[in-house]
Amino acid sequence: MGDKVFKLAVSISTAACFLIPINVNAKIKEVQIIDGDNVSIAAKYGTTYTVSNHNNIRLLTVSGLDTKVETSIFHNGLSIFNETSPVININDRITAANGDQFYGRVSSIPQLKDGQYTVSQRVTDIFGTVLSNESFSIISDTQAPTLGNFFWNAPDIKSDNLRDGSFIGDFEVSRWGINGVTDNESGIDHVEAFATEPGKQDRIGNLITLSYNEQEHKAEQSSAPTIFPSQEKEFDLWFVAYDKAGNSSSLKRRVTYTGRGPTPEPVGLFDGTSTHLNFLSGSPFAGYRPYKPGATVYNTRFRIAYRIPAKYGDPNYKGRLYSRSNEFDTNEYHQGEYRYFSAPLIYNPTGSPAFTAVVARYDRWFSQDLQYSLKLDSKIAPPPTPIKAESYYPNLGWLTDDVHRISTWSGDNAYPTKYRVTAQPRPYEQRVFTQFNGRMSNCVIPPNQTKCEINNTGPDSRTYSQWPNANQPASILGHSHGWTSYIVKSDDHAYRSHALGNNNVEIDMTTPIITNVKKIEYKSGFQVKAHKTYAGTHWTRIQMSAVGLKLVDKSTNKTYEFKVEGKLGRVLFRDKYGYDIAGGGAGMNEYVEIKDIPNATYSVQAWAMDTHLNKSYQDLGTFTYENDKPQVIFSHKNKPINSEQIGKLPDIDIKDANKYVINSVELMGGPTVGGH
């Protein structure tokens, strides 16, 4: 941004002051801070103000006639300035913030180094009586904020320091902004972002204020940038940080802002029925008739010719579109403003992605399916149409896919062991492809039938990094995603149904952490405090569920359980027929009461449970419980106390007739008076 200066104007409104010619009881009615740039701030006592120019600061103090004003300035507890005015008279007129004339004092204070100062002002009358004693603070801040680096957080593009020449796009970002934003004196006020033409300073497009996180020193936006007026162009991206004193600093990055690129437009159709046609004269697309949305196609296998703006098929253009699998060449034919290419396709119902023909953008991770809208000749049997897909979990049974559930990973219970698919009958053999974390299976629905079922191939191919494997410890947190992919006609791999459903499985064996257990005096229970470390880091379903106590009778081995569940609603883990569980958030701190148990000695454990049914325990030792009220015997020197004088309380012996230990005793009363 060069030497361009950014200023933050500070203005604080004050109530109007009235001219009082003589008032020996006057207090300070107004103070103005005027910095070296002649910026005036109407100050209020007990408040902190910032100034960005610490030279020639003046204080205009409206105090009234026949008063003296003593002004002192302190820095780190040391006095650096002290001034006492003469008695204010009719010649001491000053102009207040509202333009009116008043009586008061103008004080010129010395140059201030950066830092915080306390300004104390005391007003006395001509006899020395203190009429007012007030103070406020000034932060002198002449240093601009510090800026770090431009960061970009996207699913496949993550960088804490994007350099000049970077390509960024609206479709590939979850968070972006600038890190390392700090100011040591007045603090950060706000951070702005905007775009300019390369090498220019005048903003184009939107100006936005980023969200500033003081703890992380980051200013960011959690959605795609809205500051660029167009795509496929190079811009200068500016970040400007302002502190509370009005100082600013900036960071510039030269970026190319790209979009998804154009969607290829279908313009020609080849299905072997129009060999004499060519939709584009002079082109190599013989046998292609003009493409029309909703037209009938007479073969399950066909080709469509697409067109894109010429530069997007240019092999020398960074943002060109291409086929990752080399199924087609986007530079196949160039005529006028467009480049044309043809792609092989296999019919799928309208609304289902083609999958077999994908066009990608060379400079981005983004890709898109080549689209078309056609209807199949009624004489040709329709593609497979699924009804439902199900997965079998040993600990849960058959579950309809497309639900979210949990597992405690007890052996094979963590993943499905069988699949079952139901589809509409077809005159041809239907092959079902199922996949779960890298394991591929398939089963066949015979002609004119509706179902197939197959066992899973086993847990030997876990491909997701967060999925546990045999080499990992038991205390793990993981998740897995699997799906029943599609049904195809056996002799035509892509003549198929859409995706059937997803299996989302959370694996969580991390146990809650019990941080404190306290026996509550005069009560039978314990206060149990615990938390879940990973709460909220993957899904809100990972959280605390309950805390409790486990008591085992030492003589009979009978077990008693007491618990308090979370109060933050229910967490659903299966479909509408499945179970839910209480949610307690990241931490719970609850009193767990013990009641209705026989008199006995118990071993006691505190426990905490999360929403994945993982439990942690803490031994509390052995405790004796009784339900009987104490039968207290007071004695003095082994004799029951009736009415006698005792010199010291320790001389009193207190016992429970039921042989239990007295926990505490509260004595009430006082000395007798007159023999009573």
- Give the model confidence (pLDDT) of 66-120 as tens digits: 999 999 999 988 999 999 999 999 888 887 666 778 888 888 888 888 888 999 9
What's the confidence (pLDDT) of residue 671?
56
Do strands 403-407 and 501-508 pair parallel, antiparallel, or not at all (unpaired)?
A: parallel
Assess whether the region 150-258 and the region 388-508 belong to the same CATH fold.
yes
Single-letter amino acid, residue 666: E
Report the range of poorest mean pLDDT among 222-231, 255-264, 534-543, 592-601. 534-543
Q: Evaluate if residue 436 carries a pLDDT over 70.
A: no
Tell me how crowded residue 588 is: count the other CB atoms within 10 A of its CB: 24
Structure tokens given for 644: 């006698």
Q: What is the pLDDT of residue 588?
A: 94
Average pLDDT, the chain: 78
DSSP 365: S
With 0-12 CB in 10 A as exposed, 13-18 as middle and 19+ as buried, what is 347? buried
* pLDDT value at 573 more than 80: no
Q: In this predicted structure, what is the pLDDT of residue 668?
A: 61
Task: Encode pLDDT of 489-518 as tens digits.
Answer: 877 766 777 667 666 666 666 789 999 999
Q: How many CB atoms lie within 10 A of CB 296?
A: 13
Strand partners, 488: 431, 496
| Type of residue numbered 249 | S
Nearest to 443 by CA among 403, 384, 398: 384
pLDDT tens-digit readout, 440-469: 566 889 999 999 988 865 443 333 333 344
The CATH classification number of 513-625 equals: 2.60.40
Residue that wins the pLDDT comparison between 353 and 135 = 135
Indicate the helix (H) or strand (E) that contains 435: strand 430-436
CATH of 388-508 among 1.50.10, 1.20.1740, 2.60.40, 3.40.50: 2.60.40
Report pLDDT for 646. 55
How many C-beta neighbours within 10 Å does residue 508 have?
A: 26
Q: What is the rounded (10 degree) CA torsion for 321, 327, 329, 330? A: -30
Give one word for 581, left, alpha or beta, with left for phi > 0 and alpha for psi -120 to 50: beta
Spatial CA neighbour of 269 closest among 298, 290, 283, 299: 290
Residue with the bigger pLDDT between 484 and 542: it is 542
The whole-number average pLDDT for the span 4-11 is 29
| 653's tokens | 């012996």
Picking from 576, 535, 529, 533, the residue whose alpha carbon sits closest to that of residue 548 is: 529
CA distances from 270 to 266, 285, 291, 379 (A): 11, 9, 9, 18
Q: d(Cα 178, Cα 219) in Å, to the nearest integer?
A: 5
Between 118 and 21, where is the model more confident?
Answer: 118
Q: What are phi and psi of 649, to 5 degrees?
A: -60, -35
Work out the pLDDT band at 168, boundaries 50, 70, 90.
confident
Q: Among 362-366, 456-460, 512-516, 568-572, where is mean pLDDT lowest?
A: 456-460
pLDDT of residue 183: 92
Helix (H, G, I), strand (E, B) or coil at 517: strand
C-beta of residue 134 within 8 angstroms of C-beta of residue 45: yes
Nearest Cα to 191, choosing from 254, 245, 238?
238
With contact defined as beta carbons under 8 Å apart, do 111 and 55 qualify? Answer: yes
The whole-number pLDDT of residue 409 equals 45
* Domain segments of the chain as ranges: 30-140, 150-258, 265-376, 388-508, 513-625, 628-676
Structure tokens at 167: 């390509």
53: closest CA among 249, 271, 247? 247
DSSP secondary structure letters along 97-142: TTS-EEEEEEEEPPP--SEEEEEEEEEEETT--EEEEEEEEEEE--
The predicted-structure confidence for 577-613, as pLDDT tens digits, reads as follows 345 788 888 899 999 999 999 999 999 999 999 887 7
pLDDT for the residue numbered 401:
59
pLDDT of residue 415: 63
Nearest to 482 by CA among 460, 496, 499, 498: 499
Round to whole Å and give the CA distance between 283 and 335.
8
Average of per-residue pLDDT across 216-228: 87
- Count CB neighbours of 585 within 10 A: 17
The structure tokens listed for 374 are 């056609």
Residues with Cβ < 8 Å from 585, sequence gap 6 or more? 535, 543, 544, 566, 568
Question: Tens of pLDDT along 327-342?
Answer: 899 999 999 999 999 9
If you average pLDDT over residues 469-489, what whole number do you get? 56
**Closest Cα partner for 426 from 466, 386, 375?**
386
CB atoms within 10 A of CB 272: 11
Which range of 398-407, 427-436, 556-565 scores highest in mean pLDDT? It is: 556-565
Give the distance from CA 155 to its chain's centroid.
15
Token pair 């119902």 in the structure block, residue: 349
| Token duo for residue 599 | 């008199």
Strand ranges in 509-637 using DSSP code E only, listed in sequence order: 513-519, 526-531, 544-553, 559-565, 570-572, 580-582, 587-592, 600-610, 615-625, 632-636
| SS (HEC) of 624-672 | EECCCCCCEEEEECCEECCCCCCCCHHHEEEEECCCCCCCCCCCCCCCC
Q: Does domain 30-140 have CATH number 3.40.630.30?
A: no
Q: What token pair was written down for 297?
A: 């196609």
pLDDT of residue 240: 96
Contact present, 486 and 497 (Cβ < 8 Å): yes
**Joined tokens for residue 264:** 């290829």
d(Cα 292, Cα 296) in Å, to the nearest integer? 9
How many C-beta atoms lie closer than 10 Å to residue 255's C-beta? 24
CATH number of 150-258: 2.60.40.10
Tell me the torsion sign for CA atoms 202, 207, 212, 218: negative
d(CA 344, CA 321): 17
Instruction: Show the tokens assigned to 30.
Output: 């107004």
The strand pair at 338-346 and 333-335 is best described as antiparallel
Angstrom CA distances, 411 to 43, 114, 394, 395, stand at 71, 65, 10, 10
